[in-house]
Amino acid sequence: MREYKQLLLANKAWATELLEEKTDFFQRQTVGQKPDFLWIGCSDSRVTPEQMTMTPPGGMFLHRNIANLVHDDDLNLLSVVQYAVDVLKVRHVILCGHHGCGGVLATLEGGTQGPVDQWLGNARDVLHRHRDEIDAQPDQAARVNRLVEVNVMEQLRHLARLDTIQKAFAEKRELWLHGWVYDIRDGHIKTLLEVDANTDLDSLARPDKVLM
């Protein structure tokens, strides 16, 4: 386990390395940001969006929460989406789940309490809608991973129905929503589905399995 002081030393080394590559790097960062991507993902410490996509600072706007859920009353997420789409004018919104998600496992096994239990209500709704397929999986690991995949689909559907997204679609802005999953076992991101202004959200089909 790294001590907190090591984080500070690593930060100095990181900043020094960037300055050696581009002496005006941090000066340019102060001018502002114009990322092309909004990433909505899980808070899991093993899932590091910028690192695993090799995206430099300024290239990605980020929102993370347990099990990458889209709650209609989550002011944090709603504000992030509004700012990213209306102000930063991102062109791509990526919603990414991941293999072996602890929040999804807790949804299947139950026993959660307090705020986490409340938060996972959204994921339990997804489980209820797809219970037939989840129960048909051969073991618990497969059930977790299939729920991860259909959860990404359902959260992307929630996302597409937010007022901010619907307004952008109506104004014919360039905007695509992507449903991905990250496989911790091999480090690869796998695509599930894509949504744009012409997508029939009521007819979204369950994505093919990618977490084999």
Binding region: 42, 44, 98, 101
- Please report, in range form, the residues annotated as the binding site for Zn(2+): 42, 44, 98, 101
Residue 96: active-site member: no
Residue 44: active-site member: yes
Sign for the CA dihedral angle at 139, 143, 144, 148 comes to positive
Cβ distance 175 to 195 under 8 Å?
Answer: no
Catalytic residue among 44, 96, 157, 178: 44
Give the SS3 label for residue 139: coil
Catalytic residue among 28, 46, 131, 185: 46
Catalytic residue among 63, 96, 99, 101: 101
- Under 8 Å CB-to-CB from 201, ≥6 apart: which residues? 157, 160, 161, 195
Residue 101: active-site member: yes
58-to-28, 80, 104 alpha-carbon distances in Å: 10, 15, 30
DSSP string for residues in 144-163: HHHHHHHHHHHHHHHHHTSH
Residue 130: active-site member: no
Catalytic residue among 63, 96, 98, 157: 98
Report CA Rg, the chain.
18
Catalytic residue among 42, 96, 130, 178: 42
Report, as residue numbers or ranges, the catalytic residues: 42, 44, 46, 98, 101
